[in-house]
Amino acid sequence: MAKSSADDAELRRACQLAVEGTRHKVVFSIRTVKTHGTWGKSAKLGCQMAKPRVLALCTKAKGQRTKAFLRVLKYSTGGVLEPAKLYKLKHLSKVEVVISDPSGFTFTLGFDDLRSQSVAPSQWTMRNTDDRNRLLLCILNICKDVLGRLPKVVGIDVVEMALWAKENTPAVSAQSNQQGGASIESSVTETELKVYVEKELVSQAEEEDKEALLRTYIMGVGEAEAFSERLKRELQALEAANVHAILESEPLIDEVSHGLESATNCLEDMDEWLGMFNIKLRHMREDIESIETRNNKLEMQSVNNKTLMEELDKLLEQLSIPSEYSACLIGDSFDEAQMQQNIEACEWLTTALRGLEVPNIDPIYAKMRGVKEKRGELQIIKSTFVGKASEYMRSYFATFVDFMLNDKNYFSQQGQLKRPDHAELRFKCSTYARLLKHLKILDKNCLGPLRKAYCSSLNLLLRKEAREFANELRVGVKTSKTPSVWFEVFTGSGQNVNLADTATVSEAYAKMLTIFIPLLVDESSFFAHFMCFEVPSTIDGNKIKHNEDNDDSKSVMVDIAALNESLQDLFDGIEEEFSAVVDWAYKIDPLCCISMHETTERCLSSQKADAAGYVRILLDDLACHIYMQFNRFVDNACHQIERNERNARQTGVLPYIPRFASLATRMEQYVAGQSRDLVDQAYTKFVNIMFETLKKNSKADPKNPDIFLIENYAAFQNSLYDLARVVPTLAKFYNEAIEAYEQACTRHISMIIYSQFDRLFQFARNIEDLMLNNVAAEEIPFQVGLSRVDLRKTLKSSLSGFDKSSAAMYKKLQKNLTSEELLPSLWDKCKKDFLDKYESFVQLVAKIYPAESVPSVAELRHRI
């Protein structure tokens, strides 16, 4: 007998692994097959789909109690067991063997807690009777030991179960011990099982009669062995009676044997006939299969031919040129009247050529000779059509722009400024945008000449509009004819330039930028869109540079370079018209450059990095031109300042000091925003050259060089006092002038003091020199020329006529000074410096000559 799956240790381990984490312990497992029956009818075996399952009996200890479960496990896709259903054995009410299965391997388990009793319970089919008995016996023992009761058993013979249990007690015991579950007794007797066998075909009355009859008959079934011996004896008696009966029925047996021989002969004849029929049927079946094969091939060939014809019809339709487009593509004419048909024909040609390329057509079709010839034909048509369309567009651009150039109403006229309006031109060109888009797809190189033709024609229009507008702008501005010479030595009228003139000129320049820069930006954007440049609306240079290895980024960079090159052709020469306005404004008042520079920078900062990027280049060049013109003015003014150095000897305040203050005041009126740097650079240049010229001119008078510096630095401070408080750059130069003024004052006053009291302070310097040479203070009175007698002589010669010497200092300070307003402050400084020096002298005398007396500082302060 084959080994039962109930003894498979691997199966039990797999079951235990499947229920891991539930605290269930598998005590018994066996393979089975699950089928379904129907209520009220006996299901035919095999009619339902059989599903392999594994039934596992499990126990779960909960305190002093033990619960029993029946688990149904199924196989997953990978052949691993996984839980399917769980039944509690305490709800098991009936175990019934299916009577429709003659083998007796199939049974059902009835549970009283099923939600739907209308559904037939599952049927379980075992491999053999042993497997069935093993499972049922284990279920009954667990129900008895754990639950204390047994379910109703239907369709199983009690004697058969008892005998099987006795013969297979070792196997059952071994399994029960291996599982380690609840203790299940190895032997099952009829009395212990208390199995109630129910025969559904016996009525209740008959069952009661049989029970009464059995009670009157003592069978002696108290012990299984005695009962078994009794059954064997009765079986032997039955077999003996059967043999006797058979011997008595020999004639009947002979008759049956004769009938069997006749039937055998008939069967042999029938077998021969069936063999012949089988051969004929086999040949007939082969013929039918051959016919069916040929028929299937014919049907497949018919379907394939039909599909092929449909594909060929589609291909022919794709290869043929529609009649409505044939005249436009092949004809010689290309005029505006049929432009819509021409555009539609161009779209069809683009689609047709794209449809014959490998990604859009099957590679097999692409290799067909007809497709290759048609592709070549379309290429020829494409070249012809592109040539006609390009020639027409070039002629159209030139004709329309010539029409606008010859019409004076499009331009500014005398006494009337005309704002350029290109709305009609753009509308006319927009009707051809679809055509250019498809022309680019057909032949990308054809757009190059078209772009040049468009730029050349429109450039003439833009330049004439800018020139006429600038001319009328200059004529409409009335200004004075006074030249602007700021730093001439003579008192000219250049400083009296009318502020209204400057404001009017600046407004004229701003008006031209306000009118034409938006126009140029719009033209740039329209040109990029109209001429099919594939550039983004906003260009991020850093992002494009970062992704420059990307094919899309490379394509964008190439298109941006081509667009800038075309825009250069489109706006070529127009910057000259703007520069002419700048030069005109510069001639009227160079200080206009400040406001024009600010206007240009403001306009430049408002431009985005989009398709109109070339306009930024134009504005950059214009700002550079303004910067150069302003620097030219600054250089000329610096040259005028330097000319003072080469003139005859000059005294007093130089004229360019107050003129610079006047110039700075006017320049500050135009400073705003980004023009601050421009003006600060001019200030730096002016002041540096002024200070250098002052120093050079001061050397022309070797006797009194500091007087010249004092007066001019003081004039510089006085004239720029208000501006220095609000302009940081001028404040820096103001502080430099203060420092230079103080140094010149110190030098000049020291020279005046030493001219009157040189002997007195020379005596003090000699003492200081000896002290620096580490000569002791008590030894200095014994040095030559520094004795007490020498000290008395020095004091007498220097201070005896102190009032006279003080008056001489005042007269000498007043003699060469041309600015009388500076005299009081200089004399106060002179007195202070003298008293400071005399105080230092008194302190030295007190230290070196303690016994000597000298006039006090307070006494001289009172006398001076």
**Sign of the Cα pseudo-torsion (564, 565, 567, 573, in order):** positive
φ, ψ of residue 15 to 5 degrees: the values are: -65, -45
63: left (phi over 0), alpha (psi -120 to 50) or beta: left
In angstroms, rounded to a whole number, what is the distance separating the alpha carbons of residues 711 and 408? 64
Instruction: Specify the 3-state DSSP secondary structure of 218.
Output: coil
Residue 638 lies in a domain: no
Q: Do 28 and 138 meet the contact criterion of CB atoms below 8 Å apart?
A: yes
Helix (H) or strand (E) holding 347: helix 339-355
Structure tokens at 573: 């020469």
Tokens 């047994």 correspond to 150
3-state secondary structure 225-294: HHHHHHHHHHHHHHHHHHHHHHHHCHHHHHHHHHHHHHHHHHHHHHHHHHHHHHHHHHHHHHHHHHHHHH
Q: Is 713 buried (19+), middle (13-18) or exposed (0-12) by CB count in 10 A?
A: buried
In angstroms, rounded to a whole number, what is the distance separating the alpha carbons of residues 402 and 784? 106
Residue 665 lies in a domain: no
The mean pLDDT value of the chain amounts to 79
Tokens 């004639």 correspond to 251
Structure tokens at 130: 């042993």
Q: Do 770 and 778 meet the contact criterion of CB atoms below 8 Å apart?
A: no
Residue 131 lies in a domain: yes
Of the three residues 156, 171, 199, the one that is the final residue of a domain is 156
Taking the model in full, what pTM does it have?
0.56
In angstroms, rounded to a whole number, what is the distance separating the alpha carbons of residues 527 and 811? 82
Residue 219 lies in a domain: no
Q: Do 681 and 728 meet the contact criterion of CB atoms below 8 Å apart?
A: no
Helix (H) or strand (E) holding 170: helix 169-179
**Sign of the Cα pseudo-torsion (291, 292, 293, 299, in order):** positive
Q: Is 175 buried (19+), middle (13-18) or exposed (0-12) by CB count in 10 A?
A: buried
In angstroms, rounded to a whole number, what is the distance separating the alpha carbons of residues 506 and 479? 12
Residue 405 lies in a domain: no
Q: Do 734 and 717 meet the contact criterion of CB atoms below 8 Å apart?
A: yes
Q: Do 448 and 391 meet the contact criterion of CB atoms below 8 Å apart?
A: no
Rounded-to-10 torsion of CA 133, 134, 135, 141: 100
Residue 287 lies in a domain: no
Residue type at position 164: W
List the CATH number of the domain containing 103: 2.30.29.90
Q: Do 460 and 425 meet the contact criterion of CB atoms below 8 Å apart?
A: no
Cβ neighbours for 363, distance < 8 A, ≥ 6 positions apart: none
Structure tokens at 743: 């140094």
Count of structural domains, the chain: 2
How much is the pLDDT for 774? Answer: 85
Residue type at position 296: N
Question: Whose CA is closest to 715, among 662, 667, 640, 671?
Answer: 662
Helices 499-530 and 613-646: crossing angle, nearest 10°?
150
Residue type at position 547: N
End-to-end C-alpha distance for the chain, whole angstroms: 150
How much is the pLDDT for 324? Answer: 65
In angstroms, rounded to a whole number, what is the distance separating the alpha carbons of residues 288 and 292? 6
Of the three residues 104, 132, 156, the one that is the final residue of a domain is 156
Tens of pLDDT, residues 3-24: 666 677 888 888 988 888 888 8
How much is the pLDDT for 78? Answer: 77
In angstroms, rounded to a whole number, what is the distance separating the alpha carbons of residues 84 and 430? 73
User: How many other C-beta atoms lie within 10 A of the C-beta of residue 330?
Assistant: 13
Q: Which parts of 431-530 fold into alpha helices (H)?
A: 433-442, 447-476, 499-530
In angstroms, rounded to a whole number, what is the distance separating the alpha carbons of residues 376 and 370? 10
Structure tokens at 265: 């002969």
Of the three residues 123, 156, 189, the one that is the final residue of a domain is 156
Q: Do 437 and 346 meet the contact criterion of CB atoms below 8 Å apart?
A: no
Instruction: Specify the 3-state DSSP secondary structure of 335.
Output: coil
Q: Is 12 buried (19+), middle (13-18) or exposed (0-12) by CB count in 10 A?
A: buried
Q: Is 74 buried (19+), middle (13-18) or exposed (0-12) by CB count in 10 A?
A: middle
Q: Do 726 and 679 meet the contact criterion of CB atoms below 8 Å apart?
A: no
In angstroms, rounded to a whole number, what is the distance separating the alpha carbons of residues 714 and 705? 15
In angstroms, rounded to a whole number, what is the distance separating the alpha carbons of residues 167 and 689? 133
Q: Which domain range does residue 823 map to?
A: 750-863
Residue type at position 685: K
Under-50 pLDDT residues of the chain? 1, 39-47, 171-201, 483, 488-496, 540-546, 648
Residue 656 lies in a domain: no
How much is the pLDDT for 861? Answer: 84
How much is the pLDDT for 471? Answer: 86
Length of the chain: 864
Cβ neighbours for 690, distance < 8 A, ≥ 6 positions apart: 641, 656, 657, 660, 716
Residue 124 lies in a domain: yes
How much is the pLDDT for 543? Answer: 47
How much is the pLDDT for 222? Answer: 55
What is the separation of C-alpha 836 from the centre of its chain, rounded to a whole number of angstroms? 76
